[in-house]
Structure 1
Amino acid sequence: MKLADRVNRVSPSMTLAISAKAKAMTTQGLDVCSFSAGEPDFDTPAHIIAAAKKALDEGKTRYGPAAGEPALRAAIAHKLRTENNLPYGPENIIVTNGGKHSLYGLMMTLINPGDEVIIPAPYWVSYPEMVKLADGIPVIVPTTAETGYKITPEQLQQAITPRTRLFVLNSPSNPTGMIYTPDEIRALAAVVEGHDLLVASDEIYEKIRYGEAEHLSIGAVSPGAFERTVVSSGFAKAFAMTGWRLGYLAGPVELIRAMNTLQSHSTSNVCTFAQYGAIAALEGPQDCVETMRRAFAQRRRVIADRVNGIPGLSCLEPDGAFYLFVSIANLGLSSLDFCNALLEEKHVATIPGVAFGAEGNIRVSYATDLDTIERGMDRLESFVKACL
């Protein structure tokens, strides 16, 4: 069968592939410690589930507006105004089938063949693939542990060309968990304001932060930065709603209208009754978010100490999200070979850094219980000792 060229330009998600393999091994009765998926291990909070059930009972099961239920768009706009200092109205919001879909819709709406999109590495696996599907050119800018895996203003300035259309900014970051400080965000905004380009600010982990780390959306820096910013987010991470497939994009009205046109011919509206769960997530009690955040903070301390106590491994302590980005550069294995062998021999699932554009590293998700963390780290330590 002859397939479309665009499909051959992209790679399957290595994250999903390894997570699926780990789940298959578990189904076979093997004891797998999985640190692969970026998925909270908590149940969706009860008041959110109740709101969706109520919507079902009230018959909210029919087609809705392609851009999302008006009440949800209004709730998202209110959240962005009050929490993030971003002056959006409901007309600036489109509800999408997950945060990933918001970014895919953005790329398909904004990028023309040959347009360049600046993506700092390490990056979330889907960013460059989405650009390729839109016939754009991913411009990968490597970062290092020495800079906290953050792009500098100088690097951003050097990467911009007349063909640059978009700069993708992810803070808190997947896969590194690092957060750009307010001063760092302001410095990047100063570069952006000097050019005709947009920033796609992926802020889906914004509520999962530790210590004194602050979150500042680049669009809140100044009116000029706001005009050049589109914000992608969703409900999966902070509210443990991964399977609900609820995300959103906030941006200029012209862009949102164009995305709505695209969405009306692809997915139409997001599941109607699920959207009422999202309204409850935004407007209901937020103590559930803090409970999960505290649990992640405890796990972060345990797993970071364990990893940094293993000779041959090292990692920065993340500021947010629920990932460690671990250097395996001293072990003499590619990240793919390392992860495959670790899974086969020790039944521990991690994601190779090559999937994130950073060979010599692995991503370890600590969105799992402390018992699994302790058992998995024991196995990881045993595996690494055998490699040395």
Structure 2
Amino acid sequence: MSKVRQIVISGYYGFANAGDEAMLAAMIEALTELDPAMNIIVLSGNPADTRQRHGVESVYRLNYPEIIRVLANSDLLISGGGSLLQDVTSDRSLYYYLSIMMLAKKLNTPVMLYAQGIGPVRGRLAQAAMRYIGNMVDMITVRDEGSREELRRLKVTRPPVHVTADPVLAMHPVDREIGRAILRKHNLEGAAPLIGLSVREWKDWEHYKTVMAKAADAIVEQFGARVVFIPMQCPEDFAAAKKIVERTTREVHVLTEEYTTYELLSLVGNLDMLIGIRLHALIFAAVMHVPLAGISYDPKIDRFLECLGEQPVGTLKSITVETLIATVRELWAERQRPNRPWEERMNGLHEKAFRSAELALELIGKRQR
């Protein structure tokens, strides 16, 4: 009888961030599709929530004695998804994720970076740590070419590097009825078009909030559409949406509940269009084949849109009401007609995203031979 394979996944989980929870859900879905008997253990900031939300074992991310125990008995550590390895938002988190990788290597457990978005890594010490530990790992998949270039800049050259795609792009579209029920509960179901906005706070900047408020008003006035703000991280996104809504003159709506990955996917699938700052709101729209427009605050937005053959409407500093409404007008015609080149790119990204899971299983297979 073959041994049950065990994988530990390290990432930013258990913090009510819909994007990171979606990446975890996508990794679990892809890995268990390939090996339904696999045992997955997740390092989490809230193990009870992770167990309940994803149906897997979970260990508190700072419980090092327990982490050592599970790593010593595992076939692979996955440092999984997202922009974990960067020092822009925090250098402490970078050192944390690198420390978990180093610990696994000390225990002779293989390490894989799974569809990571790498960088920017700016600090001299951070770059040295990335170079030292990055060259120890056994396999790297990154979600875009920009991340591979960042690894080259950091001189991480030893392990094989494969450009795949964000893990969430491996997910299958979900039933839209779940989202319809949520919209019905909030009196948002109806014949009028529905445009979703996904926003976040960024450095207390005010310009983009004013622009999005005026754009929301214009969408209601010019297109006869309803506008709804969809949260991706609670409660931060509620607060950012509230600041924008306070500047509007027309009726717009804010969803104020926390939703699961599949609820959010279904919600987004009921939109006629999504305008997003949050990366994974844009990815949800792509998975559900909903026209999208991205506003950039980070290279990861530009990189993802580039994979779709698109460009951001602007940055948080440069965005204008005129350019945003012009983009909405262009996308308006796409709502009812298929965009075959875009669909083909999405199919390719789905296959690339699933390839990360296949490579993880191949890495375990090499170790077990």
TM-score (norm 2): 0.34
Which structure has more relative contact order (CA 8 Å, sep 6+)? It is: 1
TM-score (norm 1): 0.33
